[in-house]
């Protein structure tokens, strides 16, 4: 699952891929903080983005026709919990940030 953050929007892509949750952006940390605050999607924490689990689920789940998607979602969240990638209250899940360069095929992390 790919969360793309631009100057004015947070988009969800590849919602059926529940094996790779990450954020991609060309914004700097200040830009990420601003759009996350404006959108209510999550917050920046120690170099990663903490995304609202329920909001992510609701946005991604709407697009899914596969009846097994819900089960795979639960497995992804359980895995994140075992790895320590959930907030203490379980409301946020950690996602790595890929900082894209002007050439979208390149990234710096």
Each residue of 40-98: pLDDT tens digit? Answer: 999 999 999 999 999 999 998 777 778 899 999 999 999 999 999 999 999 999 999 99
> What does the domain layout of the chain look like in residue ranges?
2-104
Question: Is residue 109 predicted with pLDDT exceeding 50?
Answer: no
Please state, in angstroms and as integers, the Cα–Cα distance from residue 44 to each residue in 2, 61, 70, 93, 101, following that order: 16, 24, 27, 11, 20
- Write down the pLDDT at residue 61: 79
99 bridge partner residues: 25, 108
- Write down the pLDDT at residue 106: 43
- Write down the pLDDT at residue 101: 81
**Mean pLDDT of the 26-36 span:** 95
- Write down the pLDDT at residue 105: 47
**Mean pLDDT of the 11-30 span:** 94
98 three-state secondary structure: strand
**pLDDT band, very low/low/confident/very high, at 103 (cuts 50, 70, 90):** low
Residue 83 CA to residue 69 CA, distance in Å, equals 21
97 bridge partner residues: 23
């Amino acid at each position: 699952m790919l969360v793309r953050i631009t100057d004015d929007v947070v988009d969800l892509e590849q919602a059926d891929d529940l094996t790779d949750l990450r954020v991609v952006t060309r914004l700097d940390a200040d830009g990420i903080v601003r759009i996350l605050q404006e959108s209510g999607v999550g917050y920046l924490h120690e170099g990663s983005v903490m995304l609202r689990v329920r909001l992510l689920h609701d946005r991604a789940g709407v697009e899914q026709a596969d009846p097994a998607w819900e089960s795979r979602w639960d497995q992804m969240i359980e895995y994140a919990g075992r790895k320590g990638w959930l907030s203490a209250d379980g409301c946020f899940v950690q996602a790595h940030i890929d900082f894209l360069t002007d050439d979208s095929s390149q990234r710096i992390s």
